[in-house]
Chains A and B, each alone.
Chain A
Amino acid sequence: MKFADFISPEAIRAELTADDKEGVIREMVQALLEAGRIRQDQVESIVRAILNREELGSTGIGRGVAVPHTKHASVADLVGAVGVSSEGVDFNSLDGERVFVFFLLISPPDRPGDHLRALENISRQLRNDTFCRFLRQSRTAEEIRQLLDEVDNNQLLP
């Protein structure tokens, strides 16, 4: 699975302004709404579901990255957003570090396989130091779009 298969190019935010977990999740869900990937009347329910999932254990997976997510019946396909916060946010990550890069995923309830493949793809790329550094240093959505594109096409050197 490639980033292009689940990240909406219109739901990429290089300058997240929120300074806490709930705020960042709201900003990114809003990005998916503006990208036309989710419905307005589902926004609150999706935000609640993602926050409830975080209660079970933080999705801060290390290297300054988190993957907040939920299943939600209102989506027919896996949808994803990417956000970068230059200040970083406390996300209760296991390693105790602040989170600067977010991949937010919403998947249809009966398709755990797609969700797992998206996590696998994100994690594989995060093992590349260059990718992590460039992503975190991105200051425009266009820079992030290009970076994801390069990774999808194996053009990024390790």
Chain B
Amino acid sequence: MDQRKQSRTVRVDNRAGLHARAALLIAKLAREHEVALAVVKDSQAAEASNMIQVLSLGARQGDELVLEASGPRAEEALDALERLFAERFHEEDEDGKSPG
């Protein structure tokens, strides 16, 4: 088991930034993977499972964030989270309906 902290850098690509629904998707993913997962902006770290902490980062389109995880399923959790960012939190699917 690898307990070392692993990290990835991602960019917020979706137009609305890390809004409420994005924070919900991140929190659900963190809870499903049962892994210590953090989203870091500049030096401020938010627990991925905590929507209030993630929203308080105020991450906008274009911002770079570091995703950190440790534990046996860290790699898998980071893969899934990275994919969520790359897919822009499925925002385009409902463009015009809601800011999230």
Contacts and interface: CB of A to CB of B under 8 A. Distances in A.
A71 B18 CA distance: 16
A78 B27 CA distance: 26
Interface string A50-74: 0011001111011101010111000
A113 interface: yes
Given A56-B94, A109-B96, A120 B20 contact: no
Interface residues of A, number: 30
Nearest to A108: B99
B70 to A, nearest CB: 22
The interface size bin for chain B is 20 to 34
B16 A69 contact: no
A107 interface: yes
Contact of A62 (B51, B94, B97): B51
Interface of A: 49, 52-53, 56-59, 61-63, 65, 67, 69-71, 94, 107, 109, 112-113, 115-117, 119-120, 122-124, 126-127
Contacts of A53: 97-98
14 contacts: A61-B52, A62-B50, A69-B20, A69-B99, A94-B24, A112-B19, A113-B17, A115-B16, A115-B19, A119-B20, A120-B55, A120-B57, A123-B52, A127-B56
A116 B52 contact: no
B73 interface: no
A108 B94 CA distance: 16
Nearest to B91: A112
Nearest to B50: A62
Nearest to B53: A127
B99 A112 contact: yes
Given A58-B24, A107-B99, 7 more contacts: A69-B99, A94-B24, A112-B15, A113-B60, A119-B19, A123-B56, A126-B52
Contacts of A124: 56, 58
A122 B53 CA distance: 11
A119 B99 CA distance: 11
Interface string B18-51: 1111011101100100000000000000000011
Nearest to A50: B98
Nearest to A53: B98
B58 A120 contact: yes
A107 B94 CA distance: 16
Question: Which 4 residue pairs of A and B lie closest in terms of their CB atoms, listed nearest first?
Answer: A120-B58, A123-B56, A123-B55, A61-B51
